[in-house]
Homo-oligomer: A and B are copies of this chain.
């Protein structure tokens, strides 16, 4: 990243970070007494409770396939944000943003698993944002991986997997947001930066640096290939750092 680091010194981030620096990231495993896996993950002031709930069996459409299933649900507490938002349960419907993020988390975490080795078990990942300061979906994915790893160990300890836990959990995944603010590509945007970002991207990588998802949006301003490349570089490096932190947390 020698080349782009020159570029990255242009701006001043609200919290004084370098353009390619993550916020302080922490994982508190076993935060919940009931769930088979649970993590309170923090990316700066963004705080997400990720729980992995295991049930024996799979949805009807998958029965007898020998394959497991992983699904995810994302939600925000009403006052996770600067101003209070209405509860989706009270409104009686789930909004488009919630749907979109839940589906992204589900797809990302399914990329971790060998569903055959998981056996006919279902793991539901609940990602509840207790406090939001930008990057909640990427924090949710990164934290969910840790909760998922614990849930797979729990299954292994009960001899409920169809193969070894190592085979079942074939990859790790981590995710981070990147964006262009005032012309500068930056890693792990907080809320104030997110609001100002002309280009906004969420990237999910495996522990060995391959892509699971790449989602880039230039609603305010469109972007060229070189900007895309710079953002991908930042994100891949950020995910690598997060992978290390996940490993330490699980050690």
In whole angstroms, how far apart are the Cα atoms of A128 and B124 in the complex? 20
In whole angstroms, how far apart are the Cα atoms of A7 and B57 in the complex? 42
Q: In the complex, what's the smallest C-beta–C-beta distance from A224 to chain B, in angstroms?
A: 5
In whole angstroms, how far apart are the Cα atoms of A88 and B96 in the complex? 14
Q: Given that A34-B131, A94-B90, A124-B84 are contacting pairs, would A217 and B223 also be in contact in the complex, using a CB cutoff of 8 Å?
A: no
In whole angstroms, how far apart are the Cα atoms of A110 and B77 in the complex? 23
* A75 lies within 8 A of B93 (CB): no
User: Which A residues between 71 and 94 are near B, CB-CB below 8 angstroms?
Assistant: 73, 75, 77-84, 87-94
Q: In the complex, what's the smallest C-beta–C-beta distance from A82 to chain B, in angstroms?
A: 5
Tell whether A175 is near chain B: CB-to-CB under 8 Å: no
**How many residues from A make CB contacts under 8 Å with B?**
66
Which residues of B sit under 8 angstroms from A213, Cβ to Cβ?
215-218
Copies in the complex: 6
In whole angstroms, how far apart are the Cα atoms of A87 and B216 in the complex? 29
Tell whether A62 is near chain B: CB-to-CB under 8 Å: no
In whole angstroms, how far apart are the Cα atoms of A31 and B16 in the complex? 24
30 pairs, A vs B, C-beta closer than 8 Å: A32-B79, A33-B45, A34-B80, A35-B79, A51-B77, A51-B79, A53-B78, A55-B84, A78-B126, A84-B126, A89-B91, A89-B94, A89-B98, A90-B94, A92-B93, A94-B96, A96-B99, A96-B103, A97-B103, A99-B99, A100-B100, A100-B103, A107-B219, A111-B222, A209-B224, A210-B222, A211-B223, A211-B224, A211-B225, A225-B236
* Interface, chain A (partner B; CB < 8 A): 32-35, 38, 45, 49, 51, 53, 55, 73, 75, 77-84, 87-100, 102-103, 107, 110-111, 124, 126, 128, 130-131, 133, 171, 201, 206, 209-219, 222-225, 228, 232, 236
Supplied contacts A111-B218, A210-B222, A211-B222, 7 more A-B pairs, CB within 8 Å: A32-B79, A34-B81, A53-B83, A77-B126, A89-B89, A90-B94, A210-B218
